[in-house]
Amino acid sequence: MASIASALGAAIFEEMRDRGFGGIGLALSIENSQWKPMFIAIVTSFIFSITHYFNLLMPNAPTLVATNQQVVSTFFLGMTSIVLYMRTGSIFYSILIHFLNNFTFWTPTSDLSQDDGWASMLIFYALIPGLYSLWCLRPKKSEMNLKYLPDKQSD
């Protein structure tokens, strides 16, 4: 139960902070354009990923290599999560994917902290979600991605 609570708590907090408040805050502060969804996705994913360096301060801290792998993988998880949020208007799916990622026994910080772990991590946690996210965020689809985001109000 503690593992479920920990994984779910982190998913809810981080998704609300980064996709919810971060995505909405950026959406309200910049004008609509074909690049707005991509900008929001990159900024919120970057902030989400670098906060994982705080894991190095934990008593049972992972290695720096494992933390670097987690930071890279969480950037692309963040990209996929913001796409889901933009496309559905609901943070539920982002929380669900984040929870499932946190709750799995095989993550970049668990057993991939050796040199050959980069290849697997980059394919499954970066290449696939990265290509999906970039495809969904391409400028041609900006109207679809902006549909549920709040619009900056002109004064």
pLDDT digits (tens, 9 = 90+) for 56-68: 998 988 888 888 9
Q: How many domains does the chain have?
A: 1
Residue 55, in any domain of the structure = yes
Residue 151, in any domain of the structure = no
**Spatial separation of the C-alpha atoms in residues 50 and 54, rounded to whole Å:** 8
- Among the residue ranges 28-32, 106-110, 145-149, the one predicted with the least confidence is 106-110
Residue 23, in any domain of the structure = yes
Residue 126: the pLDDT is: 86
Residue 125: the pLDDT is: 80
Residue 17: the pLDDT is: 94
Range of the domain at 117: 2-146
Residue 22, in any domain of the structure = yes
Task: Write phi, then psi, for 2 (nearest 5 degrees).
Answer: -65, -40
Q: How confident is residue 40, by pLDDT bands cut at 50, 70 and 90?
A: very high
Render pLDDT for 80-138 as a digit per residue (tens, 0 to 9): 999 999 999 999 999 999 998 888 755 554 544 454 577 777 888 888 889 999 999 99
Residue 153, in any domain of the structure = no
Query: What average pLDDT does the structure give for the chain?
Result: 86
Q: pTM (2 decimals)?
A: 0.84
> Residue 99 CB: number of other CB atoms within 10 A?
18
Residue 152, in any domain of the structure = no
**Spatial separation of the C-alpha atoms in residues 69 and 46, rounded to whole Å:** 14
